Structure 1
Amino acid sequence: MGKRQILLITMLLGSVVVTVSCNKLLPGLPADDSVLDGPVEGLSGEQNQAFLRGDIAFNDDIFTSSNGLGPTFVATSCGSCHAGDGKGHPFTTLTRFGQSDTLGNKFLHLGGPQLQSRALPGIQPETIPTGATFSSFTPPANTGLGLLEAVPDATLLGLSDELDADGDGISGRPNWIHIPVYCLSRPGTIERNGRYIGRFGKKAAVYDLQQQTANAYNQDMGVNSSYESYNTYNGLQIDPEISNQKVLDVIFYLKTLKAPIQRDQNNADVIAGKQIFTNISCGKCHTPQMQTGPSTIAALANKTIFPYTDLLLHDMGPSLNDGYTEGTAMPAEWRTPPLWGLGLSKNSQGGKVFLLHDGRAKSIEEAVSFHGGEASQSKTKFQQLNASDKAKLIQFLESL
């Protein structure tokens, strides 16, 4: 064998050793049930490309004064408030102000409904006007939103019991809202007197992910689109600073993020905790299972999902009354937050959890302690559990 052949074989063997060594050094991919990001199953190749474009726009695009930021704003990117598509941190909590009743926001000309507390050099950031009520909203997790959007209105109306006809003390109801002209009706949309059912936001005051995304660009970053182009700083309509395609890519990304995957489903304590959850009536608001209906995205249509929410408003009592409302929601009414993904919240919140609409609760048990109103009976039952049963219930919730 010649020297050239020996050298070639040596180089090939060396490359194999390097490849194997590198593979051992590189970290493996995280398990699907340990992360919130990633697309739903069943997307086409073209749809996966749209998902990737939206992912890049959502997580990598940073806005500055040169590409549309401000003049007043809260954040400089979408991903800065939703690390890993998870919940926000108290440092990224938003402030909504200006509406103390259901007659409308009287402070829109002063920057409402969202406080833009940061500003470009030479510009004064917004402050809460005298006389305006306000509330703090911690950014929610993004996952499974398209599946929640695909749940038919009829399902939500079927879950509502506004007059508490069954006498169980729980009277969830939809938030009937006016919607922007650019919103397209979902399949099966139900309209009443010019109002539609909201399902996103802390008070279910947002109709769909198009409205949510357009509002976020405009109110969070001061970036104007052809959908939302009102400049609260000077009250002027200005030209779009972001393309429709990029907004639509982000909407598609949010629609097609997968649902959180429950962990330890076969663990005996988790199974026992799930039964306790049912026994103390938590599931009457945190509805475990829903079915999506028709969707323009086949991967979202007619799916069984487990979000643990009814997407309805409930009176949560005086401890959670911030004196602020949106749409037809009253100040103490809040949309039931989905519990799926709860156990992964700390991954995006600095290793700790900050729960409830404003992040005030530092644990699941503390969050339950603030429940009142329609949730009073369940809270009392939770507090009466023995230590073992309470631990099993919390273990179940952390598995979601």
Structure 2
Amino acid sequence: MNKKHLLLLCAIFSLIVVMASCEKIFPPAPADDRLLDGPVADLTGGQNRQFLNGDIAFNDEVFTTETGLGPVFVATSCGSCHAGDGKGHPFSTLIRFTAAKDSTGNTVLDQGPTQLQNRAIPGFLPEQLPRNVPFSKFTPPANTGLGFIDLVPDADLLAMADPDDLNGDGISGAVNWNKIPPYVTIRKNTVVKNGLYICRFGKKGSVYDLLQQTATAYNQDMGITSSFEPVDTYSGLEIDPEVSDKTVNDVVFYLKTLKAPIQRMPGDPEVVKGKAVFIRIGCESCHKQTLTTGTSTIAALSNRQFYPYTDLLLHDMGNALDDGFTEGSAKTSEWKTPALWGLGLSKNSQGGRYFLLHDGRARSIEEAILFHGGEGLKSKTSFQGLGAEEKSSLIHFLESL
């Protein structure tokens, strides 16, 4: 063996020692089903690069006064409200209030709801909530799987809807018809009614697509203007973009291609038993297990079956959850069925405990169920009638999602 070969063997041995030492020092990486972030499988090389660019913009870029923050704002970055792409907590909860109402009690669409900017840069005062206005608190939702939800065809939503409860099951379900901004790209085979479009994002399902959601979040949450939303939230004047179209589009792509949450231990006997209870007491009437995407330019999302446990429709949830606030065509007591996938991982981004429902008021899964009224009353009553063992199995199933 010559000297060159000997040095190479020494180098390989040293590398093996270092790697073995690292395995002892550092804990193993979390399993994929324990994380909400990460891209969908089968993206192309170019798509993975755009995903990474969006990931950096979403999670790493923190805005300051010098880069356009504010002057009034709610957060300094996207990731500060969605840690690990999970749910937010009371410290990142938003407040929205109704600016004006029409004769039916719904928001005047031309004016719409307004978001409270409760923080400000030095030299400015944060906004105060006006007196005697209907308002609601919105805890930031998890981001994962949004690209699948974006691609559910309008026709599928209408097929699930039963606004007049014609089948008599006590579950109506309605889409949110709303105006949309001019910069969004209309979906293929979209359905339009009286100039209004079917929307699906947000707590009341009032936002059309992820571009509108992202551009509005930059503008309303951080006071950052773009070519899509150029009006400064403080002055009301149109100003030069403070974030580029490329960055906004990269973030939109990132949100579209975040993977769907992965259920943990679906074959566990308690999980299987709990799922049967979930179906038997009627929870799946609104929390639909299975939806299917339409055709997409992103092959990894195209014509895929997925399991979000939502119908993406508005349902009357009763007086306890009626805070007098509305968006689009939603009534004040109506809320979009939240997707339950990823529910069991919520505590990871919520400080180790649950903050559930639209405003985080429920501190456990059971408490969230007990707030159900209106169309959810029958299932809640059935839940209350369960024995301790069946309740435990149901919660075990929900925490596996």
TM-score scaled by length of structure 1: 0.96
Partner of 1:234: 235
Q: Which moved more, 1:20-29 or 1:248-257?
A: 20-29
Partner of 1:85: 85
Partner of 1:63: 63
CA distance in 1, matches of 2:2, 2:127: 78
Contact 1:114-1:219 within 8 A present in 2 as well: yes
Cα drift, residue 4 of structure 1 = 9.5
Pairs within 5 Å for 1:202-241: 202-241=203-242
Partner of 1:102: 106
What do residues 232-275 of structure 1 show as CA deviations (whole Å, max 9, x unaligned)?
21111111101000000000000000000001100111111111
Question: Which amino acid is the alignment partner of residue 347 of structure 1?
Answer: N
Question: Which amino acid is the alignment partner of residue 54 of structure 1?
Answer: G
Cα drift, residue 6 of structure 1 = 7.2
Question: Which amino acid is the alignment partner of residue 102 of structure 1?
Answer: N
Partner of 1:258: 259
Helix, strand or coil at the partner of 2:197: strand
Helix, strand or coil at the partner of 2:300: helix
CA distance in 2, matches of 1:16, 1:274: 46
Aligned-residue sequence identity (percent) comes to: 60
Pairs within 5 Å for 1:101-250: 101-104=105-108, 113-250=114-251
> Does 1:33 pair with 2:33?
yes
TM-score scaled by length of structure 2: 0.96
Contact 2:107-2:326 within 8 A present in 1 as well: no
Cα drift, residue 231 of structure 1 = 1.5
Cα drift, residue 133 of structure 1 = 1.2
Contact 2:226-2:244 within 8 A present in 1 as well: yes
CA distance in 1, matches of 2:2, 2:335: 79
CA distance in 2, matches of 1:221, 1:336: 27
Partner of 1:52: 52
> Does 1:372 pair with 2:373?
yes
Cα drift, residue 3 of structure 1 = 9.4
Helix, strand or coil at the partner of 1:237: coil
CA distance in 1, matches of 2:286, 2:373: 13
Gap change, CA 1:25 and 1:188, over 3 Å in 2: same
Gap change, CA 1:255 and 1:7, over 3 Å in 2: closer
Q: Which runs of 5+ in 2 are unaligned?
A: none
Partner of 1:309: 310
Contact 1:198-1:207 within 8 A present in 2 as well: yes
What do residues 208-231 of structure 1 show as CA deviations (whole Å, max 9, x unaligned)?
000000000000000000001211
What do residues 176-223 of structure 1 show as CA deviations (whole Å, max 9, x unaligned)?
000000011112211111100110000001000000000000000000
Runs of 4+ in structure 1 over 4 Å off? 1-12, 105-108
CA distance in 2, matches of 1:368, 1:143: 23
Contact 1:98-1:105 within 8 A present in 2 as well: no
Q: How many residues align?
A: 397
Contact 1:107-1:132 within 8 A present in 2 as well: no
Gap change, CA 1:150 and 1:11, over 3 Å in 2: closer
Helix, strand or coil at the partner of 1:104: coil
Cα drift, residue 9 of structure 1 = 5.6
CA distance in 1, matches of 2:59, 2:331: 34
> Does 1:76 pair with 2:94?
no
Contact 1:187-1:295 within 8 A present in 2 as well: no
Cα drift, residue 12 of structure 1 = 5.0
Contact 1:262-1:399 within 8 A present in 2 as well: yes
CA distance in 2, matches of 1:145, 1:318: 29
RMSD: 1.7
Q: Which runs of 5+ in 1 are unaligned?
A: none
